[in-house]
Amino acid sequence: MELKYFFVKLSDLAREQTLRSDVDFVQSFITNRPVSYYPFSQIFEMVERDSVDVKELDDFSYCEIGDVDSNGEVYPILLNINNRNELNESYFKKIEKGDIRSVRVGDILITSVRPNLRKFVYIDSLKSDIFFTKAFLHLRPLVNSKLVFYALRSIFFDNVIALSRQGKGYPTLKKEDLLSLCLDKVLIDALMNQQEVIQEKLTALEAEIQGEKAKLVEPSAIINAVFAREFQVDLDFVRKYQSAPFFNKQFSEFAAGNGDLRMSYRWFKYQELKVVLHRNVTCLKKLGNYIIQSRNGWSPQCGEHQSELAVLGIDSIKNSQIVFDNLKFTDQLKPNLDQLFIKKGDFLISRGNTVDLVALAGIVVDEPETDTIYPDLMIRIEFTEEVNKKYMAYVFNSFFGRYYFKYVTKGKNQTMVKVSATELLMFDVPLPDLATQNRIVDEIEISLNAEQVSRTAINRKWIEIDDLFFNSVGVKANG
């Protein structure tokens, strides 16, 4: 690898009020500082006083860093102050301590943790009613807001990253650092002089992105379609059947197959429903016969500051995979902690959640970058060799798993139910031979990969937007 170096005078370092000496910062803001520039205060206002009276909120959407992707798309959680439970209590505790901010159209949010992931959010009319964590830095542009948003993501992105500080792990960006941002006057003026032309092209590209978004199909729909055809399940009939408001039962049926003597409507509803779900399935097996070991996780006290031990969030199960974009951190330790470290290939399910999300399953597809454990609201399961773990994750996330866990799990209310060992072991799963499992996995993944074509097209349009801004100011894009 070629060693890159440059020279800087000690007197220049001393004149920098932050006294920073890290390479990216020095190179961007000391040795290569533009001759003429706009200071941050001429282009942006840093918004700080945006207090929110939580008591006045009813249903509201709340967004954390992990709820934003690298294209600035937002996937908030819906909360209600009168509906607190074990799953969402951590949100309310943060919010009550003031970790909530309101926004308005035209604002820009930049994540203070791992800004290199480009989780920059432009607040349009659809996002203006969402509340955000204060882990985002809140900017209010004083000039064309959409243009400077895209400029920050493209021609000035390296400048923003150069301001971030590299600690033990992920880079972080502080408000004080962002306030020292210098934006090349020549580039800003070039953008402003062409803003009408740029805006016209930008509008066309944004419309193409929306067109590709309209083609997207939820992964769950793809999984369900494959399982419905493979096991001859009429999903339309099942949906109508499960929506029936009542059914009749004989007293003798209360004891049949009911070891816990459960009396709930929901439990008996599934006993009726599974008849139509399993009508044509010839390979039903009890899951417990194929589990070698299962272990609950651990939920230590987590803080806002990064440490060497990461903890998965309950929302890290997405699209049958485990993602690492919303980690929490802790300094707490316990004996045999290494037994909770996750590794590539692990199979995890959510132990507690709403009735629609409980027991969602995901596979760890990438090796964690740092020691990471899974929380108490997750279970790690090890299967015998007769099971393809990807196949089993798709079963859990298909209508077979969703209907089963929706109706048989227990809880005081439907906003927080939990899976017990009994429900897990007694899950009737369609488990054909390994060759058939592999074929079904391949078919699902072919469809998921085809779905990825639209997602790839969307990403290409975002690259075109970046290129539009680079080309408009005559700057070559990095990479």
- Residue 63: which residues within 8 A CB-CB, separation 6 or more? 74, 75, 76, 77, 130, 131, 132, 133
Q: Is the pLDDT confidence value at 379 over 60?
A: yes
pLDDT digits (tens, 9 = 90+) for 114-167: 888 899 999 999 999 999 999 999 999 999 999 999 999 999 998 888 888 765
What is the pTM assigned to this prediction?
Answer: 0.69
Per-residue pLDDT band at 263 (split at 50, 70, 90) = low
Burial of 232 (0-12, 13-18, 19+ CB in 10 A): exposed
> Which of 361-370, 387-396, 414-423, 443-452 tops mean pLDDT?
387-396
As a whole number, the mean pLDDT across the chain is: 86
Q: Could you check whether 34-183 and 219-439 share the same CATH topology? A: yes
DSSP code for 77:
E
- CATH classification of 219-439 is 3.40.50.620, yes or no? no
Higher pLDDT, 203 or 51: 203
Determine the pLDDT at residue 251. Answer: 53
Domains of the chain by residue range: 34-183, 219-439
DSSP code for 320:
T
- Concatenate the DSSP letters of all residues of 225-292 into one string: HHHHHHTT--HHHHHHHHT-S-----GGGGTTT-TT----HHHHHHHHHHHHHSTT-S-EEEGGGGEE
Per-residue pLDDT band at 363 (split at 50, 70, 90) = very high
Q: Which two tokens stand for residue 294?
A: 């299962």
Q: Assign domain 34-183 to its CATH architecture.
A: Alpha-Beta Complex (3.90)
pLDDT digits (tens, 9 = 90+) for 209-218: 999 888 888 8
Determine the pLDDT at residue 1. Answer: 38
Say if residues 66 and 315 touch (Cβ distance below 8 Å). Answer: yes
Residue range 294-319: average pLDDT?
84
